[in-house]
């Protein structure tokens, strides 16, 4: 099916003045975030940890959602204004418990950063509800978390929700007939691509629903990162096809970013005044990405199917049914 860009889309590069080599600290330079409250899921490893570090350095209060409490506390040791709450995005009760604890301690939430995720699980794995795990963790868990934290977001002035998508959204759109691979053969890259397309579509519909209340939402492609736990399931063949090699746990290859560079677009979307009147867009390299056709072979740009308003509404309806929200 041929898709056409929405006539009033904001999905157009600015330009921002930043680029692929911009670091998180450069984005936040000069900002005073004292009194601001952030939630960062998975904010204790990889680009999530860098996100937390830079935010707390600028004075923000950061609550990190973590499945591994001990690892998170060790990683955040010495950071002022950073705390940890247990959060398992594959467990609906854990999500509700996290939200309940947060709301009991904080009246408002300035920015929710849906950072945590899993990638390319080699075998079909399901959560306790029977949902395919990449779709469950990357999208449904964050969908439920956002719904539960909605009251605190609306209590903030100009709140934002930043959800990490990926250039992997080019592998697949959302299969609304069989999102959990109940009938079709499992493919780790189709499953990952579906979850990342869902992250982008979620941001489109969330922004539409929240903008009249002052809330804006953004999807982020952080770039391919040199070292991160997200790549732990990748085989040497996977890396070879991507033109990447692994030596002593370090990935090398063209177009790879450092962790400080990988966290930059997240923080640009969370803080930039350039985006104060925009939202529902997919961003990369600290700018709004250009639109490309669904069949584009390029790893850059955003596919139309990942920003389609009709698909975004359908995904929202499906997500409400699957999470009973």
Which one is the CATH code of 24-319: 3.40.50.300, 3.40.50.720, 3.40.50.620, 3.40.50.10740?
A: 3.40.50.720
Q: What per-residue confidence (pLDDT) applies to 249?
A: 63
What contacts 183, CB < 8 A, 6 or more positions away?
Answer: none
Instruction: Report the candidate in 80, 87, 81, 90 with the shortest Cα–Cα distance to residue 101.
Output: 87
The answer, yes or no, to whether residue 4 has pLDDT greater than 80, is no
Look up tokens 């997919």; give the residue.
Answer: 282
Give me the chain's average pLDDT, please: 93
| Global pTM value | 0.92
Q: Give the pLDDT confidence of 266-294 residue by residue, as tens digits.
A: 999 999 999 999 999 999 999 999 999 99
pLDDT tens digits along 59-91: 999 999 999 999 999 999 999 999 999 999 999
Q: Which residues are part of the catalytic machinery?
A: 192
Q: How far apart are CA 35 and CA 4, in angstroms?
A: 42
Which helix (H) or strand (E) element contains residue 114? strand 111-114
Give the model's pLDDT for residue 239: 60
* Strand intervals (E) in the chain: 37-41, 61-66, 82-86, 111-114, 160-164, 216-221, 224-225, 245-247, 250-252, 256-257, 281-284, 287-288, 291-292, 302-303
Q: Exposed (0-12), middle (13-18) or buried (19+): which is 195, by Cβ within 10 Å?
A: buried
What pLDDT, in 10s, does the model give residues 35-45?
999 999 999 99
């Amino acid at each position: 099916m041929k898709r056409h860009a929405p006539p009033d889309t904001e999905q157009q590069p600015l330009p921002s003045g930043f680029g692929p080599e911009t670091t998180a600290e450069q984005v936040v330079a000069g900002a005073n975030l004292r009194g601001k409250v952030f939630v960062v899921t998975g904010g204790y490893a990889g680009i999530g940890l860098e996100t937390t570090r830079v935010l707390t350095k600028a004075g923000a209060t950061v609550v990190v959602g973590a499945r591994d409490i001990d690892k998170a506390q060790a990683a955040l040791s010495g950071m002022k204004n950073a705390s940890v709450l247990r959060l398992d995005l594959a467990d609906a009760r854990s999500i509700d418990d996290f939200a309940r604890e947060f709301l009991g301690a904080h009246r408002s939430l300035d920015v929710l950063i849906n950072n945590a995720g899993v990638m390319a699980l080699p075998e079909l794995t399901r959560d306790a509800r029977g949902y395919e795990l990449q779709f469950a963790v990357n999208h449904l868990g964050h969908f439920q978390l956002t719904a539960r934290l909605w009251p605190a977001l609306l209590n903030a002035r100009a709140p934002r929700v930043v959800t990490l998508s990926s250039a992997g959204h080019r592998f697949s759109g959302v299969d609304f007939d069989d999102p959990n691979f109940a009938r079709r053969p499992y493919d780790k890259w189709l499953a990952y691509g579906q979850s990342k397309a869902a992250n982008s579509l979620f941001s489109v519909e969330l922004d539409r629903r929240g903008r009249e209340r002052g809330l804006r939402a953004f999807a982020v492609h952080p770039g391919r990162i040199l070292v991160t736990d997200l790549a732990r399931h990748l085989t040497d063949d996977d890396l070879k096809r991507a033109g990447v090699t692994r030596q002593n746990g370090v990935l090398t290859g063209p177009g790879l970013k450092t962790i400080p560079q990988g966290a930059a677009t997240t923080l640009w979307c969370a803080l930039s005044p350039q985006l104060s009147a925009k939202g529902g867009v997919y961003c990369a390299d600290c700018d709004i990405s250009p639109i490309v056709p669904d069949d584009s072979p390029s790893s850059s740009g955003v596919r139309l199917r990942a920003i389609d308003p009709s698909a975004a509404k359908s995904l929202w309806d499906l997500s409400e049914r699957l999470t009973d929200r």
